[in-house]
Amino acid sequence: MTIYDISKKAGVSIATVSRVINGSGKVSEKTRKKVLAVVEESGYTPNLFARGLGLNTMHIIGILCVDSSDLFLAKAVYYLEQKLYENGYGCLLCCTGYQQENKEKYMKLLLSKRVDACILVGSSLVGQTLEDSRYIQDAAKEIPVMLLNAYLNGPNLYCVLADDYQATYAAADQLYRAGKRNLLYYYDSNSYSGKEKLRGFQDAMKANGVDKKEQKTLYYSGSREDIPSMKAKLAGLHQSGVAFDGIIASDDNLALSAVKFAQSIGWKIPEEFAVIGYNNSLLAQCCEPELTTIDNHLETLCSQLTATLMDVQGGKPAASRMVFPCTLLPGGTTPALERIPEHSPKRKAASAG
Q: Which is nearer to its own copies, 109 or 178 (CB)?
A: 109
| Nearest in space to 285 (alpha carbons), one of 333, 325, 239, 247 | 333
Smallest gap from residue 220 Cβ to its own copies (A): 15
Q: Is 74 in the site for its own copies (CB under 8 A)?
A: yes
Q: Which is nearer to its own copies, 205 or 287 (CB)?
A: 287
Binding mask 43-72 for its own copies (x = CB under 8 A): --xxx-xx--x-xx-x-x--x---xxx-x-
Residues 6+ apart with CB under 8 A from 275: 246, 247, 249, 255, 258, 259, 262, 269, 291, 292, 333, 334
- Figure out which of the listed residues 2, 31, 82, 215 binds its own copies, where binding follows CB under 8 A: 82
- Measured between alpha carbons, how far is 16 from 172 in angstroms, rounded to an integer? 66
CB atoms within 10 A of CB 24: 9
User: φ, ψ for residue 43 (rounded to 5)?
Assistant: 75, 5
Smallest gap from residue 252 Cβ to its own copies (A): 9
Smallest gap from residue 93 Cβ to its own copies (A): 4
Q: Which is nearer to its own copies, 41 or 338 (CB)?
A: 41
- Measured between alpha carbons, how far is 299 from 340 in angstroms, rounded to an integer? 19
Smallest gap from residue 181 Cβ to its own copies (A): 27
Which pairs with CB-CB distance under 8 Å and at least 24 residues apart come from 238-244? 238/265, 242/184, 242/216, 243/182, 244/182, 244/183, 244/184, 244/216
Q: Is 40 in the site for its own copies (CB under 8 A)?
A: yes
- Measured between alpha carbons, how far is 331 from 153 in angstroms, rounded to an integer? 37
CB atoms within 10 A of CB 166: 15
Interface of this chain with its own copies, residues 9 to 28, rule: CB under 8 A:
19-24, 27
Q: Which is nearer to its own copies, 225 or 342 (CB)?
A: 225
Residues that bind its own copies (CB under 8 A): 19-24, 27, 29, 32, 36, 39-40, 45-47, 49-50, 53, 55-56, 58, 60, 63, 67-69, 71, 74-75, 77-79, 81-82, 85, 90-95, 106, 109, 113, 225-228, 253, 256, 260, 263, 282-283, 285-288
